[in-house]
Amino acid sequence: MSKAYSSHTEKIDVEYVAHLARIKLNEEERERFQAQLEEILGYVDQLKTLNVEGVDPMAHPFPIQNVFREDKTCPSLDHEVAMKNAPQKRNGHFMVPKIVE
Amino acid sequence: MNYKVTIGLETHVQLKTNTKVWCSCANVYGHPPNTDICLICLGYPGSLPVLNKEAVRLTVMTGLMLGCNINTYSKFDRKSYFYPDMPKNYQISQYDKPFCEGGGVEIDVDGDRKRVSLTRIHLEEDVGKNIHHESASLIDFNRAGTPLMEIVTEPDMESADEVFAYLLALKQILTYGAVSDCNLEQGNIRCDVNCSVRPADQKELGTKTEIKNMNTFKGVYRALKHEIQRQIDVVEKGGVIHQEARRWDDLAGVTTAMRPKEYAHDYRYLPDPDLMSVVLSDEQVSKWREALPELPAARRSRLVAEYNIPEYDAKVLAADKAIADYYEEAARLSDHPKVVSNWIMTEVLRALSEHDRGIQQIKISPQYLVDLVKLVDDKTINMPSAKEVFNQMFETGENPSTIVEHKGLVQVSDTDAIDALIVQVLEEHPQSVGDYRNGKKNAAQFLVGQVMRLSKGKANPQIAMEAIQKKLNS
């Protein structure tokens, strides 16, 4: 893959990013993603050179605001349906490996 | 050495809405586990949150009550972390554009008044509830998605007492505003406490620790007392305070460090693309401002002005909105608002606390309480009888006149009848009569007591006293 954008100056810690996403990478993937992610960051660096003076930051591409819901209850899922995808359950609860406390 | 203490609080308050913040599941406590859940609060891929308007109103109302600036533009952000009680692996919160900024809470510690400044109030979602077992953890998502308001203070407090006063004042205001049920047993209010100490002559703050997830005010108070002393001890011994999260062990009465793994997160806030931003018009905010309820401080002043009761009384009565309401209902019916206040501050509050009841459960109607006050005022019954009548009213809610009649408690103020009793008492207690005449004036108290005994508590003690003194002095 040709590099369309200049590489990011800092080295990205792919191992850390993978940990944040809770995914395991093998050696080949680490190298591939390293290059790809740095290319993305290079693109972002390029964006940073644009003059955005007088442009308000936006949190959303759509110019829509104030989408509200009235405070009225609707039936929830049946308990059995809600629990159907749970790999493990006990006494009406979702069961997970013991959380460190 | 003298130390200065610096404390800031992050208080989470569950809002009193019918539904959750992003979906139409019921926002209630105590339902069977995982029965108030749907695709949205379970974080299913493709499900879309829609903001509950009432949650916005309650958050902004709180901001207005606490004197905050209301941001006309607000938005929601994702706070990423992995924990099983958070099904989306991010919590929707507000990062840089919360609904409210600034503001403050007035506190009073033994007459010392100060204002605790607020940094901000933002709206977010509560997470599910974990139950930890030996081998596994169980999760109930009913609570996930409950609208949760986070009220953040500046590091403005300097003692556990100030923090306690802040929490009480905050709870009072939130209750007056009907923003939250503020039920601590149900976890409606929880807080994280940031605390540091430094030598009194040092300018820069010491390293802080954060005590996580406190759910009782007394617990916060005790935890702080302990944590402040612990930090001072460490510094005294030349040690270093580590910036860390700590947990309060209520049974052992100590704070212990949590494992770094449990709280070291990289939240990576980003705007939530599923939610549109909120733009509040000035008209909308003014409308809410006009609808603000009377707050505790205003109520205290009004009680003093309107019913001519001391500030102390107003403070006790206004501490609980429902008590103040009860008082006002009674005071309006009575010619003696101060006497009504006395009855509520002593007998009513005592009886409620003895029976572990709230004023909402009281059987005595305000009218009957006023009637009881009147029976004492017009000398139909004396004070000891009134207390007896009160206790029965508290049990049954009966009309006090009926009780007085049934128990035959009408006070005897007839001087002839009392004189007859006095003659008998004086004959039976020549010793006391002698004492009195030899200058031991309090012997008269004993003789009045004997008259009361003979009358089965029904004699008017003032009249008896006057008559005894008259007889012995002649």
Taking contacts as CB-CB distances below 8 angstroms, the residues of chain B near A67 are: 50-51, 275-276
Average pLDDT over residues B174-203: 95
Strand partners, B248: B255
Output the pLDDT for position A9: 60
* B194 neighbors B8 (Cβ within 8 angstroms): yes
CB contact under 8 A, A65 and B132: no
Helix (H, G, I), strand (E, B), or coil: what is residue B388? helix
Domain-wise residue ranges, chain B? 3-286, 296-407, 415-473
CB contact under 8 A, A59 and B271: yes
**Closest to B295 (Cα-Cα) out of B178, B416, B211:** B178
Interval B75-109: pLDDT, tens = 999 999 888 999 999 999 999 999 999 999 999 99
Task: Tell me which residue in B132, B261, B273 faces A60 most closely, judged by beta carbons.
Answer: B273
Task: Tell me which residue in B17, B42, B136 faces A95 most closely, judged by beta carbons.
Answer: B136
Disruptive mutation site among B17, B21, B35, B268 for chain A (greatest number of A CBs within 10 Å): B35
Q: Is the CB of A80 inside 8 Å of chain B's CB atoms? A: no
Rounded CA-CA distance B169/B172 in Å is 5
CB contact under 8 A, A68 and B52: yes
Taking contacts as CB-CB distances below 8 angstroms, the residues of chain B near A81 are: none
User: Residue B410 has which token pair?
Assistant: 């009408």
Per mean pLDDT, which range of A6-10, A93-97, B284-288, B403-407 is the poorest? Answer: A6-10
Taking contacts as CB-CB distances below 8 angstroms, the residues of chain A near B52 are: 68-69, 71
CB contact under 8 A, B278 and A65: yes
Nearest CA in chain A to B27: A73
What's the whole-number average pLDDT of chain A? 87
Q: How confident is the model at residue A1 (pLDDT cuts 50, 70, 90)?
A: very low
Residue B134 predicted with pLDDT over 90: no
Taking contacts as CB-CB distances below 8 angstroms, the residues of chain B near A59 are: 75, 97, 271, 277
Output the pLDDT for position A2: 41
Q: Is the CB of A66 inside 8 Å of chain B's CB atoms? A: yes
Interval B114-128: pLDDT, tens = 999 999 999 999 999
Taking contacts as CB-CB distances below 8 angstroms, the residues of chain B near A80 are: none
Task: Tell me which residue in A71, A93, A100 faces B140 most closely, judged by beta carbons.
Answer: A93
Kind and range of the H or E run holding B438: none
Disruptive mutation site among A20, A64, A71 for chain B (greatest number of B CBs within 10 Å): A71
Rounded CA-CA distance B337/B371 in Å is 12
Domain-wise residue ranges, chain A? 14-48
Output the pLDDT for position B469: 85
* B275 neighbors B52 (Cβ within 8 angstroms): no
Say which residues have a Cβ less than 8 Å from residue B397's Cβ, sequence separation at least 6. Answer: B363, B364, B365, B368
Per mean pLDDT, which range of A73-87, B236-250, B441-455 is the poorest? Answer: B441-455
Chain B: nearest CA to A2, how far in angstroms? 30
Kind and range of the H or E run holding A74: none
CB contact under 8 A, A72 and B261: no
Rounded (10°) angle between helices B430-437 and B461-473: 70
ipTM confidence: 0.86
CB contact under 8 A, B51 and A100: no
Q: Is the CB of A44 inside 8 Å of chain B's CB atoms? A: no
CB contact under 8 A, B34 and A93: yes
* B389 neighbors B400 (Cβ within 8 angstroms): yes
Average pLDDT over residues B371-380: 90
Average pLDDT over residues B300-312: 95
Task: Tell me which residue in B133, B259, B276 faces A66 most closely, judged by beta carbons.
Answer: B276
Helix (H, G, I), strand (E, B), or coil: what is residue B333? helix
- Which is more confidently placed, B272 or B423? B272
CATH code of the region B415-473 = 1.10.10.410
* B210 neighbors B196 (Cβ within 8 angstroms): no
Rounded CA-CA distance B174/B14 in Å is 11
Taking contacts as CB-CB distances below 8 angstroms, the residues of chain A near B37 are: 76-77, 82
Residue B147 predicted with pLDDT over 90: yes
Task: Tell me which residue in A73, A82, A90 faces B37 most closely, judged by beta carbons.
Answer: A82
Percent of chain B with pLDDT over 90: 76
Output the pLDDT for position B4: 96
Disruptive mutation site among B22, B27, B28, B38 for chain A (greatest number of A CBs within 10 Å): B38
Residue B389 predicted with pLDDT over 80: yes
* B146 neighbors B14 (Cβ within 8 angstroms): yes
Taking contacts as CB-CB distances below 8 angstroms, the residues of chain B near A73 are: 18-19, 24-26
Interval B37-86: pLDDT, tens = 999 999 999 999 999 999 999 999 999 999 999 999 999 999 998 889 99
Cα–Cα distances in angstroms (integers) from residue B227 to residues B7, B9, B208, B234, in the given order = 11, 14, 11, 11
Taking contacts as CB-CB distances below 8 angstroms, the residues of chain B near A71 are: 17-19, 52-55
Output the pLDDT for position B189: 97
Task: Tell me which residue in B35, B75, B139 faces A76 most closely, judged by beta carbons.
Answer: B35
CB contact under 8 A, A93 and B268: no
Residue A3 predicted with pLDDT over 50: no
What's the whole-number average pLDDT of chain B? 93
Q: Is the CB of A99 inside 8 Å of chain B's CB atoms? A: yes
Interval B225-276: pLDDT, tens = 999 999 999 999 999 999 999 999 999 999 999 877 665 678 899 999 999 9
